[in-house]
């Protein structure tokens, strides 16, 4: 086993670590209060190449492998989660449909704008009646002459309010649905019939918006089916491939946030004095710190291994990715709970970041596939292996 992290990945992660410390962390509470990332900070993120981490170099991105992207996400997740979410859709769910299954022409047309951050991309699968059961989507696309007409409503779409382009999943054959009847489209915000609906009010992740997207006789050119005519009806498979990759990077966000919570907790435990001594001297506190560190260590190893496996074999690593998402996101929730406990009343106060992390990490067990859905994916694969 070779655990060496490539030099270019280490350097990129180090650059991002400094950027987080110098530029993002000092404004993290302000962004929380104002629910908005300042445009000049977004511009700095563009200059660092953060919008194109995963996009191949030939289309203007940095072309990092999954491991490289995970290392960057780990660093970015040590501050307000909205910063990672701002670049997350461009690197992940918003671009990967095109990267994985797009035609050469689609890649040339869209990826450079997404990689540079000139455009924001989003992923529109979920609907009010179709969450975990994504195959139950109702949004309909019908071919009329040389264009498709899309009608339907998506909700909970990350960056939906600011996106310039969306990967939209719609039913093209109601009989076949997930088995050849769902198609993925590239839909630009300026296409007629594309509307942004309500911006949803969330428990956390302030600074990042989640919105409804409404399609009313939305006109989409024929050539905007991801992958072209041959991929009509194959959109569900595209969605699953995109989500597979995202599960690994979500694991990295969990590990980064957990590490930050541990760092804050150790420092606090060493300086907070009760009964005449730092609380770090109490075994009850030490045990929580030890459990946090151990769980982070385990999560990080499985994350790096699965990312390395995917980078070196090119295989989808579906089971491992689901395990990573499940374990790492559940781990960070346990760690956040212990962090609140170690901080006592301070952990519950808004002046301090612990409370924000506690709310923000809760989402990780829900989006891009809930913990229950990850367990289903793992179990299905496992049972197949024993056939
Ligand atoms: C802040 C936020 C951002 C999001 N961003 C996006 C985005 O950018 N694009 C997008 O398309 N979607 C997005 N989503 C949607 C997200 O992926 C869904 O919320 C998630 O998949 C769960 O769907 P649901 O909310 O409808 O819950 P449901 O599917 O209704 O689930 C409710 C509960 O039932 C459980 N459950 C459901 N089915 C089963 C089963 N078969 N076995 C056991 N338990 C089950 C679930 O695990 C959960 O506990 C976002 C959601 C949030 C909250």
Position 244 pLDDT exceeds 90 = no
For the record, the structure tokens of 207 come out as 């600074």
Q: What is the predicted pLDDT for the residue at 314?
A: 86
The distance in angstroms from the start CA to the end CA of the chain is 30
- Regarding whether 211 and 263 lie in a shared domain, the answer is no
- Regarding whether 127 and 111 lie in a shared domain, the answer is no
How far, in Å, from the CA of 131 to the mean position of ligand 1? 5
Candidate from 215, 369, 370 with most ligand 1 atoms within 8 A of CB, to mutate: 370
User: Dihedral, CA atoms, 11, 83, 94, 175, nearest 10 degrees?
Assistant: 130
- Regarding whether 246 and 294 lie in a shared domain, the answer is yes
Between CA 48 and CA 61 the distance in angstroms is 11
In a domain, 2, yes or no: no
Give the mean pLDDT of the chain.
Answer: 97
- Regarding whether 255 and 380 lie in a shared domain, the answer is yes
- Regarding whether 273 and 214 lie in a shared domain, the answer is no
Position 183 pLDDT exceeds 90 = yes
- Regarding whether 39 and 57 lie in a shared domain, the answer is yes
Q: What is the predicted pLDDT for the residue at 134?
A: 96
In a domain, 71, yes or no: yes
Domains held by the chain: number: 3
- Which atom number of ligand 1 is nearest to the Cα of residue 130? 26
Q: By percentage, how much of the chain surpasses pLDDT 70?
A: 100
Helices 81-91/235-271 angle, 10° precision: 160
Which protein residues are within 6 Å of ligand 1, measured from CB? 122-126, 131-132, 156-158, 202, 205, 210, 363, 366-370, 372-373, 376
**From the candidates 368, 372, 385, 387, which is the catalytic residue?**
368
pLDDT tens readout for residues 18-65: 999 999 999 999 999 999 999 999 999 999 999 999 999 999 999 999
Domain that holds residue 253: 237-385
**Other residues' Cβ atoms within 10 Å of the Cβ of residue 3:** 8
Nearest CA to ligand 1 atom 42: 372
How far, in Å, from the CA of 276 to the mean position of ligand 1? 48
pLDDT tens readout for residues 318-361: 999 999 999 999 999 999 999 999 999 999 999 899 999 999 99
Q: What is the predicted pLDDT for the residue at 270?
A: 98
pLDDT tens readout for residues 141-176: 999 999 999 999 999 999 999 999 999 999 999 999
Tell which residue, 2, 68, 62, 57, has the closest CA to residue 307.
Answer: 68
For the record, the structure tokens of 275 come out as 């009964």
- Regarding whether 381 and 241 lie in a shared domain, the answer is yes
In a domain, 288, yes or no: yes
Among 66, 101, 116, which residue terminates a domain? 116
How far, in Å, from the CA of 377 to the mean position of ligand 1? 14
Question: Which CATH number fits the domain that encloses residue 242?
Answer: 1.20.140.10
Contact residues for 377 (Cβ-Cβ < 8 A; gap 6+):
318, 319, 322, 369
Q: What is the predicted pLDDT for the residue at 231?
A: 97
Annotated catalytic residue 142: no
Q: What is the predicted pLDDT for the residue at 178?
A: 93
- Regarding whether 295 and 260 lie in a shared domain, the answer is yes
């Amino acid at each position: 086993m070779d655990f060496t992290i490539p030099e270019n990945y280490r350097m990129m992660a180090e650059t991002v670590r400094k950027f987080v410390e110098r530029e993002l962390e000092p404004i993290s509470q302000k962004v929380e209060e104002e629910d908005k990332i300042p445009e000049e900070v977004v511009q700095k993120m563009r200059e660092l190449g953060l919008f194109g981490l995963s996009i191949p170099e030939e289309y203007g991105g940095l072309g990092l492998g999954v491991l490289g992207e995970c290392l960057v996400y780990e660093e970015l997740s040590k501050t307000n989660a909205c910063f990672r979410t701002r670049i997350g859709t461009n690197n992940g769910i918003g671009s990967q449909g095109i990267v994985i299954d797009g035609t050469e022409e689609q890649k040339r047309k869209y990826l450079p704008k997404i990689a540079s951050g000139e455009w924001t991309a989003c992923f529109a699968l979920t609907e009010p009646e179709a969450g975990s059961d994504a195959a139950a989507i109702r949004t309909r696309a019908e071919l009329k002459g040389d264009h498709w007409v899309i009608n339907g409503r998506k909700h909970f779409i990350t960056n939906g309010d600011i996106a310039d382009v969306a990967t939209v999943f719609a039913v093209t054959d109601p009989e076949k649905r997930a088995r050849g009847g769902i198609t993925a489209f590239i839909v630009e915000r300026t296409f007629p019939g594309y509307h942004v609906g309500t911006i949803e009010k969330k428990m956390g992740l302030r600074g990042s918006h989640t919105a409804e997207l409404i399609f009313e006789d939305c006109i989409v050119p024929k050539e905007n089916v991801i992958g072209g005519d041959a991929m009509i009806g194959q959109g569900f498979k595209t969605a699953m491939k995109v989500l597979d990759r995202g599960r690994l990077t979500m694991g990295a966000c969990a590990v980064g946030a957990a590490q930050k919570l541990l760092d804050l907790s150790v420092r606090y435990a060493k300086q907070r004095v009760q009964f005449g001594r730092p609380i770090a001297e109490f075994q009850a506190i030490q045990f929580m710190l030890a459990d946090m560190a151990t769980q982070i260590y385990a999560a990080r190893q499985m994350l790096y291994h699965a990312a390395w496996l995917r980078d070196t074999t090119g295989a989808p690593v579906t089971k491992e990715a689901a395990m990573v998402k499940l374990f790492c996101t559940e781990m960070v929730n346990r760690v956040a709970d212990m962090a609140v406990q170690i901080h006592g009343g301070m952990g519950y106060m808004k002046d301090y970041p612990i409370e924000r992390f506690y709310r923000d990490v809760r989402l990780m067990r829900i989006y891009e596939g809930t913990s229950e859905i990850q367990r289903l994916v793992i179990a299905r694969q496992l049972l197949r292996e024993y056939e």
